[in-house]
C-alpha cells in the first residue's frame, strides 16, 4: 500500500489530500447472497469485501481497487454536482457526470501507476486495451454516457459498470487530447487540480454547466470532445488518440474459442438472491441451439461451476479455459414451465469452437515522430 500511496502523492502534485486514512479489509471464506465483491469510499477511509485468496493471486487486483477508492477523495468527495452534494436517498436524482466520478477515478488509478513506474507502459496499454474490448463487446457503445449516467438506477442499470471501462477510456482520450493541445504541459491531472480549486467540497457545480466550464478552463476543442463522445452517440476513435501519442497496434488475427452460444445475459440482484438470466437469443449460434436454451432460463451452474451475478464472467472464463471442442457440457438452469412452475433442467451437449477476431495488441510505435514521442513521454513517461 505504501507504494501506491506514494505514487498517488506524486500524481496529486506532491501532497496527499488527507493526513490520516484507513483501509478496512474484510476477507470472507463464505460467499455473500449476491456472490459479489466490492469496495466503498468514505472521506478518510475505504472498506473492502473480498473472498479469502492467496496474496500472490490478489495483490495486483487489490492495489488497483485501493488506488481507485482512494482517488475518490478527489471526486466525487471534493468535486461534485449539486445532485451529489445534496443527495436524495429517498428519491435519488442522478448526476450526468459518472464519466468524471467513476471514469476519471478509474483512469487515474492506473495512470498514476504507470507515471510512477509501478507498472510498465506495456502493462498500462494492455489494461486500456482490455477496457476497450469489454466496453465494446458487452455494453452499448453508442449510448450517450450522460444519458446512461442520469438513468443508471433504472433504465440503464445494466450499463452502469461501463463506468469502469468506457468511463476510464473517455478520460484517457481526454488526457491525450489535452496534452496534444498543450504540447504536453496540461492533462487530466492538472484539470482535476483546477476543478478542485474552482469548486471543492463545499461548492458544487451545476450539472448542465460543467462541460462549458471545463472548455473555458482548457480549450474550445474540448467542448466538442464532450459533445461527440460523452453527450453524443459517436464511438470514440481510439486509434486516432493512440496515434497522437505514438502508440500503434499489431494486426488483427483470427483464433478459435469455445462459445457459450453468443447469447445475451441479464443480471438481476435482489435481497434474497442473484440471477443470471438469458435475455435474448437473437443471433445465437449452433451451440445455443444444441443446448436448447430458452429466453428466461436462469443459469445455476456450468459443468459444476456455480454462476451468480457476482462471478458470472469469471465462471464463464474458467469454463472456457478448461474446455475444448467436443468436451461434454452440462448446464443446469431453472426454467418456468406450465402453470408458472419453476423446474431445474439439465441441458447437455458438446462444446463447440467458433472463429473470433483477436484484436491487435497495443504497442509503442518504434517509428513515432519526435512530436508523438514528446506527447507519449508527457502522457506515460515512455
φ, ψ of residue 286 to 5 degrees: the values are -65, -30
| Cα 41 from Cα 34, distance rounded (Å) | 20
Q: Where are the alpha helices (DSSP H) in 18-144?
A: 55-71, 82-85, 98, 105-115, 121-138
Q: To which H or E segment does residue 19 belong?
A: none
For residue 16, what pLDDT is reported? 86
In a domain, 267, yes or no: yes
Q: Are residues 325 and 241 in the same domain?
A: no
This prediction has a pTM of 0.80
In a domain, 43, yes or no: no
Here the CATH number for the domain that contains residue 99 is 1.10.390.10
For residue 265, what pLDDT is reported? 87
Count of other CB atoms within 10 angstroms of residue 282: 9
Whether residue 228 has pLDDT greater than 90: yes
| Cα 308 from Cα 322, distance rounded (Å) | 19
Whether residue 177 has pLDDT greater than 60: yes
In a domain, 60, yes or no: no
For residue 104, what pLDDT is reported? 98
| Cα 278 from Cα 219, distance rounded (Å) | 46
Tens digits of per-residue pLDDT, 131-169?
Answer: 999 999 889 999 999 999 999 999 999 899 999 999 999
Query: Could you give the C-alpha distances from 148 to 279, 287, 381, in angstroms and in order?
Result: 20, 33, 34
With bands split at pLDDT 50, 70 and 90, how would you rate the model's confidence at 324?
A: very high
Q: Are residues 290 and 341 in the same domain?
A: yes
Cα 246 from chain centroid (whole Å)? 24
Q: Are residues 282 and 212 in the same domain?
A: no
φ, ψ of residue 53 to 5 degrees: the values are -145, 140
**SS3 breakdown of the chain: % helix, strand, coil, rounded to 5?**
45, 20, 35
For residue 309, what pLDDT is reported? 66
Region of poorest pLDDT, from 196-200, 218-222, 361-365: 196-200
- Give the structural domain span for 270: 255-357
Region of poorest pLDDT, from 76-90, 134-148, 223-237: 76-90
Tens digits of per-residue pLDDT, 191-219?
Answer: 999 999 999 888 999 999 999 999 999 99
Whether residue 32 has pLDDT greater than 70: no
Burial of 111 (0-12, 13-18, 19+ CB in 10 A): buried
Whether residue 270 has pLDDT greater than 70: no
Virtual CA dihedral for 24, 28, 34, 38, nearest 10 degrees? 30
In a domain, 151, yes or no: yes
Paired strand residues for 345: 333
Here the CATH number for the domain that contains residue 273 is 2.30.42.10
Q: Are residues 261 and 324 in the same domain?
A: yes
Residue 274 · residue 312 · CB < 8 Å: no
Q: Decide: helix, strand or coil at residue 50.
A: strand
| Cα 5 from Cα 14, distance rounded (Å) | 11
Whether residue 317 has pLDDT greater than 90: no
Q: Are residues 126 and 275 in the same domain?
A: no
In a domain, 50, yes or no: no
Q: Are residues 317 and 373 in the same domain?
A: no
For residue 108, what pLDDT is reported? 97
Residue 364 · residue 121 · CB < 8 Å: yes
For residue 67, what pLDDT is reported? 94
* 301's grid cell: 451452474
Q: Are residues 287 and 322 in the same domain?
A: yes
In a domain, 62, yes or no: no
Mean pLDDT of all residues belonging to the chain:
92
The DSSP secondary-structure symbol of 101 reads I
| Cα 105 from Cα 129, distance rounded (Å) | 18
With bands split at pLDDT 50, 70 and 90, how would you rate the model's confidence at 100?
A: very high
Q: Are residues 221 and 272 in the same domain?
A: no
With bands split at pLDDT 50, 70 and 90, how would you rate the model's confidence at 269?
A: low
Q: Are residues 353 and 375 in the same domain?
A: no
In a domain, 24, yes or no: no
Q: Are residues 353 and 289 in the same domain?
A: yes
Q: CB within 8 A of 313, min separation 6: which ones? A: none
In a domain, 48, yes or no: no
φ, ψ of residue 244 to 5 degrees: the values are -55, -40
For residue 34, what pLDDT is reported? 56
For residue 91, what pLDDT is reported? 84
Q: Are residues 195 and 309 in the same domain?
A: no
Paired strand residues for 275: 268
Number of domains in the chain: 2
Residue 229 · residue 173 · CB < 8 Å: yes
| Cα 327 from Cα 272, distance rounded (Å) | 34
As a whole number, mean pLDDT of residues 303-320 equals 83
Q: CB within 8 A of 227, min separation 6: which ones? A: 211
Q: Are residues 331 and 243 in the same domain?
A: no
With bands split at pLDDT 50, 70 and 90, how would you rate the model's confidence at 372?
A: very high
For residue 359, what pLDDT is reported? 82
Amino acid at each position: 500500500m505504501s507504494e501506491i500511496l506514494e505514487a498517488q502523492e506524486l500524481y496529486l502534485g506532491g501532497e496527499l489530500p488527507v493526513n490520516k486514512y484507513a483501509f478496512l479489509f474484510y476477507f470472507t471464506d463464505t460467499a455473500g447472497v449476491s456472490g459479489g465483491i466490492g469496495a466503498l469510499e468514505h472521506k478518510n477511509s475505504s472498506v473492502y469485501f473480498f473472498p479469502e485468496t492467496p496474496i500472490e493471486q490478489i495483490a495486483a487486483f487489490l492495489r488497483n481497487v485501493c488506488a481507485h477508492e482512494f482517488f475518490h477523495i478527489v471526486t466525487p468527495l471534493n468535486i461534485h454536482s449539486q445532485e451529489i452534494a445534496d443527495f436524495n436517498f429517498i428519491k435519488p436524482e442522478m448526476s450526468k457526470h459518472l464519466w468524471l466520478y467513476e471514469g476519471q477515478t478509474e483512469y487515474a488509478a492506473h495512470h498514476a501507476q504507470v507515471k510512477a513506474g509501478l507498472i510498465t507502459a506495456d502493462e498500462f496499454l494492455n489494461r486500456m486495451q482490455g477496457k476497450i474490448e469489454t466496453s465494446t463487446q458487452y455494453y452499448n457503445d453508442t449510448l450517450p454516457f450522460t444519458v446512461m449516467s442520469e438513468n443508471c438506477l433504472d433504465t440503464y442499470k445494466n450499463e452502469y459498470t461501463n463506468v469502469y471501462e468506457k468511463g476510464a477510456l473517455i478520460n484517457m482520450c481526454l488526457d491525450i487530447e489535452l496534452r496534444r493541445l498543450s504540447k504536453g504541459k496540461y492533462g487530466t491531472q492538472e484539470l482535476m487540480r483546477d476543478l478542485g480549486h474552482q469548486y471543492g467540497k463545499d461548492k458544487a457545480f451545476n450539472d448542465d454547466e460543467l462541460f462549458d466550464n471545463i472548455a473555458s478552463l482548457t480549450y474550445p476543442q474540448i467542448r466538442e470532445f464532450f459533445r461527440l463522445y460523452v453527450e453524443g452517440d459517436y464511438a470514440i476513435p481510439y486509434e486516432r488518440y493512440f496515434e497522437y501519442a505514438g502508440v500503434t497496434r499489431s494486426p488483427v488475427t483470427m483464433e478459435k474459442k469455445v462459445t457459450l452460444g453468443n447469447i445475451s445475459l441479464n443480471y438481476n440482484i435482489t435481497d434474497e438472491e442473484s440471477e443470471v438470466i438469458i435475455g435474448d437469443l437473437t443471433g445465437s449460434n449452433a451451440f445455443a441451439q444444441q443446448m436448447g436454451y430458452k429466453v428466461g432460463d436462469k443459469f445455476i451452474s456450468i459443468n459444476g461451476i456455480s454462476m451468480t451475478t457476482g462471478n458470472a464472467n469469471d465462471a464463464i472464463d474458467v469454463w472456457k479455459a478448461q474446455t475444448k471442442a467436443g468436451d461434454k457440457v452440462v448446464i443446469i438452469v431453472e426454467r418456468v414451465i406450465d402453470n408458472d412452475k419453476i423446474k431445474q433442467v439439465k441441458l447437455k451437449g458438446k462444446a463447440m469452437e467458433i472463429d473470433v477476431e483477436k484484436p491487435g495488441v497495443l504497442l509503442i510505435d518504434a517509428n513515432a515522430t519526435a512530436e508523438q514521442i514528446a506527447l507519449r513521454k508527457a502522457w506515460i513517461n515512455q
